[in-house]
Amino acid sequence: MNKKSVRDVEVNGKRVFVRVDFNVPVENGSITDDTRIRETLPTIQYLIDNGAKVILASHMGRPKGEVVEELRLNAAAERLSELLGKKVAKADEAIGDAVKSQVAALNNGDVLLLENVRFYAGEEKNDPELAKAFAELADLFVNDAFGAAHRAHASTEGIAHHLPAVSGLLMEKELEVLGKALSNPDRPFTAIVGGSKVKDKIDVINKMLEIADNVLIGGGLSYTFFKAQGHEIGKSLVDNEKLDLALGFINKAKELGKNFLLPVDIIVTDDFSADANTREVGVDGIPADWEGIDIGPKTRELYADVIKNSKLVVWNGPMGVFEIEPFSHGTRAVAQACAETSAYTVIGGGDSAAAAEKFGLADKMDHISTGGGASLEFMEGKKLPGVEALKDK
């Protein structure tokens, strides 16, 4: 990576403002998945061990500039305390005199978590005044919030204009792994793109057609391709405005000599529920009043084979409605193949990460990104503002 990391600067005795992404799922006040908190431990522990005064900041949810009680970061502070085996102080605000006093009271190695930065309207507007107020709390800015790196907000981008700014260790790891896939992939390189909407995945499919050897398509976005090819798709998900684009991708793959695979069979259903009727059909067999909901067994085998013969696999988006058990087999088969292959496997956050977790296969993957939107934008080849703002090496 060409950006400086926390290891490249002196932190001893310094007040260090660390932007993390503690935007974790919470149900009834309890955190249901603390992956994003655990993944920041190397950076926080490094700073503690090296005598920094650690000031953590994060967003949670989308409170739109107002205080929303359920979106306070108290549960995150408690979980972090447990994981570090050390008291983490929690501020009830993110700027202001009370916070300044709490920062002034920090000893080397102490940790303070500020309140949700999105309680301030200036955060998402990247307001320079708010960025300055954050910067005044610290001597150094460390960005470890890969999950929010695609946002140009006051605590991810603005603050970097007022303080020396470097990456944290999680940010560094994410950029290294995803960056290698983009710039110097081991081959055969297979990209798997699924999920619900074509429009969300256009740029990533386009980029993958250019850099990968195999592009496997699944999930709801397949049906736009099928319709573009003239197949009956019944009530399946479709984006009628993207039919030409879908055909364009098929042609582009041919021109570039890429192996672009669409499902060869499909599970269809007459209702979007666990006890609905289902059938396995070929791509020409979707009944007019049914919808495609998962890839079929032949496709599962075909895709698993490609995955097993790859050296690098990048997966973004489920193959079907995996949240409902009878429609989860395609996504499970892809996850299983990713778990078994000797290829280096990268999961691009979001629903595919949730699926791998649900099937108990998460620890068999080589890298699961902590950023859904961020990893997608990165894989599309876009620049991430939270990274661009950091110091070059």
Annotated binding site: 21-23, 36, 59-62, 118, 151, 201, 292, 323, 349-352
Cross-strand bridge partners of residue 64: none
**7 a catalytic residue:** no
Q: Are 131 and 158 a contacting pair, CB within 8 Å?
A: yes
Pairwise CA distance, residues 291 & 301, whole Å: 22
Binding residues for substrate are 21-23, 36, 59-62, 118, 151
**220 a catalytic residue:** no
Among 372, 384, 389, 390, binds ligand X15 (CB under 6 A): 372
One DSSP character per residue, 242-292 reads GHHHHHHHHHHHHHHT-EEE--SEEEEESSSSTTS-EEEEETT---TT-EE
By CB under 6 A, which span of 172-180, 219-227, 318-326, 370-378 interacts with ligand X15?
A: 370-378
Nearer to ligand X15, 145 or 267 (CB): 145
For the record, the structure tokens of 90 come out as 């929690």
Pairwise CA distance, residues 291 & 318, whole Å: 16
Interacting residue ranges for ligand ADP, rule: CB under 6 A: 195-197, 200, 219-220, 237, 292-293, 316-318, 320-321, 323, 350-352, 372
Q: Identify which of 376, 345, 222 has the alpha carbon closest to the alpha carbon of residue 291.
A: 222
Among 147, 195, 263, 330, binds ligand X15 (CB under 6 A): 147
**Min dist. Cβ of residue 62 to ligand X15 (A):** 5
Is 128 near ligand X15 (CB under 6 A)? no
**79 a catalytic residue:** no
**Min dist. Cβ of residue 388 to ligand X15 (A):** 17
**257 a catalytic residue:** no
Cβ neighbourhood burial of 210 (10 Å; 0-12, 13-18, 19+): exposed
Is 23 near ligand X15 (CB under 6 A)? yes
Give how many residues touch ligand X15 by CB under 6 A: 11
Q: Which residues are catalytic?
A: 36, 197, 350, 373
